[in-house]
């Protein structure tokens, strides 16, 4: 393809100017499936709590690609061989790593499509794009799937210290204004190196990694698992559950054609793999499909659906209680009965307004994949053991909290 006028730069509020590295990357960015990410909010309904958190998966994808370019330059300067084709594969892989996200990102994960994660869908999208682009995405697809011979390339895309995490922490803290999430992404990238085909961190970078792990844990409690964010998400999940219940029973519902097909059907992973029309339908879905429907459903004759939708549109959210211990069963039953009485519900319908769940926060999981610190004698030590500031017994620990959602009118 001609490269005329494809060396674009994009002005990004987090990093300044982002350069599109080559013509193929430009053409992939221009593809409708990638442009769709402009219409999917990075943080789902977090803007109900942080009004400026309106940034998109598209912005995040470009930012992660920008950081990938910096990481490649740093590793090459340290004598690590990364070919031109591999660098392009890395750029494409990180650019497309979130293409499988549905409306409102993680909020509706496995809701619209129940047995497929966004990673599963990203693989399907990338495989199809590879066909459309004449197998020019073969290396990118292999890197994403961790089948490429150089394993550290996959770690740059997906690991405990990948460009995805570096960008979303920097970007999410910027757009929410939560200063606790600020990380030294540039310092971390400069400290990266490779040892035995593994992505590791030079010893001088240990303090930046400590700050990174602390920031990630704090961002989960202050943003991703914030009580009000959870309240908005539970409301959206409840109304979609009701809409799907009605849709599967043939009740008329306003929806875009693509959205309607998912409301009235339950396509499986097998359906997506054998019938490309399901992937094409999913590619037509974004935040606008869902919220346009929610606005119309606020006037639906079904009282449960209309009430839930009206509450979301007008930000009348559930009350959320969070605590470190499970809720007393007697207390749960009391709230459940009060909810039934308040809203004059049938007992089987109380679940739309009353939910009890558990959330978990684990900033670092060495059992899944380690962050290794390279010492002066080239020895490798897990960050949980190398750190003087972080408690080895606490840092890898999963912190769980139990949550209860119910109408605010209940005292």
**Structure confidence at residue 1 as a pLDDT band (50, 70, 90):** very low
Q: Are the C-beta atoms of residues 1 and 158 closer than 8 Å to each other?
A: no
Task: Give the pLDDT confidence score for residue 4 in this predicted structure.
Answer: 57
pLDDT in the model for residue 125: 96
Q: Give residue 43's domain range.
A: 9-225
pLDDT at 164 exceeding the cut of 50 = yes
Tell me: do 105 and 181 sit in the same domain. yes
Residue 391 inside a domain? The answer is no
User: Do residues 195 and 240 both lie within one domain?
Assistant: no
For residues 385-389, average pLDDT:
82
Position 355 in a domain: no
Q: Is 368 contained in some domain?
A: no
Please indicate, yes or no, if residue 371 is contained in any of the structural domains. no
Residues 169 and 109 in one domain: yes
- Please report, for the domain that includes residue 291, its CATH number: 1.20.1250.30
Per-residue confidence (pLDDT) for residue 365, from 0 to 100: 73
The yes-or-no verdict on residue 367 having pLDDT over 90 is: no
The pLDDT value given to residue 394:
52
- Are residues 22 and 104 located together in one domain of the fold? yes
pLDDT digits (tens, 9 = 90+) for 45-78: 999 999 999 999 999 999 999 999 999 999 999 9
CATH number (domain holding residue 140) = 1.10.3210.10
Cα separation, 82 vs 76, whole angstroms = 7
Cβ atoms within 10 A of the Cβ of 250, count?
Answer: 8
Element (H, E) at 16: strand 16-19
215 and 83 assigned to the same domain: yes
Task: Please tell me whether residues 235 and 121 are part of one structural domain.
Answer: no
pLDDT in tens, 170-212: 999 999 999 999 999 999 999 999 999 999 999 999 999 999 9
Same domain, 205 and 257: no
Cα(68)–Cα(165) distance, rounded to whole angstroms? Answer: 11
pLDDT on residue 224: 94
Same domain, residue pair 109 and 146:
yes
Residues 64 and 172 in one domain: yes
Beta partners for 193? 200
**Integer Cα distance of 72 and 189 in angstroms:** 9
Rounded average pLDDT over 127-140 = 97
Q: What is the 3-state secondary structure (H, E, C) of 306-340?
A: HHHHHHHHCCCCCEEEEECCCCCHHHHHHHHHHHH
In this structure, the answer to whether residues 137 and 256 fall within a common structural domain is no
Interval 329-352 mean pLDDT: 96
For residue 323, being part of any structural domain is answered with no
Alpha carbons 132 and 124: distance in angstroms, whole number: 13
> Within a domain: residue 261?
yes
Number of domains observed in the structure of the chain: 2
pLDDT tens-place string over residues 215-263: 999 999 999 999 999 999 999 999 999 999 998 899 999 999 999 999 9
| Confidence at residue 396, expressed as pLDDT on a 0 to 100 scale | 58
Q: Please report the pLDDT score of residue 111 as a whole number.
A: 83
What does the DSSP assignment read for 167-224? Answer: HHHHHHHHHHT-GGG---HHHHHHTEEEETTEEEEEGGGHHHHHHHHHHHHHHIIIII
Q: Is 326 a member of any domain? A: no
Q: For a pLDDT cut of 90, what percent of the chain falls above it?
A: 83
- % pLDDT > 70, the chain: 97
User: What integer pLDDT is reported at residue 190 of this predicted model?
Assistant: 98
The pLDDT of residue 2 is 47
Confidence of residue 266 (pLDDT cuts 50, 70, 90): confident
Residue 388: pLDDT band (50, 70, 90) is confident
How would you list the strands of the sheet with 372-374, edge to edge? 192-195, 198-202, 372-374, 380-382
List the single range of 122-126, 341-345, 394-398 with lowest mean pLDDT: 394-398
Query: pLDDT band for position 392 (50/70/90)?
Result: low
The pTM score is 0.94
The mean of the pLDDT values for the chain is: 93
249 and 135 in one domain? Answer: no
Residue 325 in domain: no
pLDDT digits (tens, 9 = 90+) for 38-53: 999 999 999 999 999 9
Confidence check: pLDDT of 334 > 90: yes
Q: What is the pLDDT of residue 219?
A: 95
What's the rounded Cα separation, in Å, for the pair 10 and 116? 33
Mean pLDDT, to the nearest integer, of 9-24? 95
Residues 167, 40 share a domain: yes
∠ Cα 373 377 380 (to 5°): 30
pLDDT score at 248: 87
Most confident of 2-6, 311-315, 358-362: 311-315
Q: Is 177 left (phi over 0), alpha (psi -120 to 50) or beta?
A: left
């Amino acid at each position: 393809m001609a490269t005329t006028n494809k060396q674009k730069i994009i002005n990004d509020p987090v990093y300044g100017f982002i350069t599109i590295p080559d013509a193929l990357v430009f053409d992939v960015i221009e593809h409708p499936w990638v442009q769709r990410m402009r219409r999917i909010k990075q943080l789902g309904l977090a803007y109900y709590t942080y009004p400026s958190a309106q940034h998109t998966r598209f912005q995040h994808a470009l930012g992660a690609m920008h950081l990938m370019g910096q990481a490649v330059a740093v590793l090459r300067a340290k004598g690590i061989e990364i070919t031109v084709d591999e660098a392009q594969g890395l750029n494409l892989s990180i650019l497309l790593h979130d293409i499988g996200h549905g409306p409102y990102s993680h909020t509706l994960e496995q809701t619209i499509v129940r047995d497929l994660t966004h990673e599963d869908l990203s693989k399907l999208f990338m495989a199809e794009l590879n066909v459309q682009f004449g197998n020019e995405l073969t290396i990118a697809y292999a890197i994403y799937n961790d089948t490429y011979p150089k394993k550290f390339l996959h770690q740059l895309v997906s690991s405990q210290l990948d460009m995805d995490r570096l960008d979303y922490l920097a970007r999410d803290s910027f757009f929410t204004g939560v200063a606790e999430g600020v990380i030294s992404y540039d310092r971390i990238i400069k400290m990266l190196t490779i040892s035995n085909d593994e992505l590791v961190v030079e010893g001088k970078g240990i303090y930046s990694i400590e700050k990174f792990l602390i920031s990630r844990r704090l961002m989960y409690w202050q943003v991703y698992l914030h009580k009000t964010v959870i309240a908005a998400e539970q409301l959206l999940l409840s109304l979609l559950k009701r809409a799907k219940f009605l849709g599967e029973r043939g009740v008329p519902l306003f929806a875009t054609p693509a959205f309607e097909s998912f409301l009235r059907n339950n396509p499986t992973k097998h359906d997506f793999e054998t019938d490309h029309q399901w992937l094409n339908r999913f590619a037509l879905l974004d935040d606008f499909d869902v919220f346009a429907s929610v606005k119309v459903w606020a006037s639906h004759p079904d009282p449960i659906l209309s009430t839930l939708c009206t509450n979301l549109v007008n930000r009348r959210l559930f009350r959320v209680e969070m605590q470190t211990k499970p809720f007393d069963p007697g207390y749960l039953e009391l709230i459940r009965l009060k909810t039934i009485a308040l809203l004059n519900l049938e007992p089987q319908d109380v679940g739309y307004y009353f939910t009890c769940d558990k959330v978990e926060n684990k900033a670092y999981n060495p059992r899944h994949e380690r962050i290794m610190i390279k010492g002066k004698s080239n020895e490798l030590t897990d960050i949980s053991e190398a750190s003087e500031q972080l408690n080895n017994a606490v840092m890898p620990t999963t912190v769980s909290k139990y949550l209860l959602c119910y109408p605010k009118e209940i005292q």
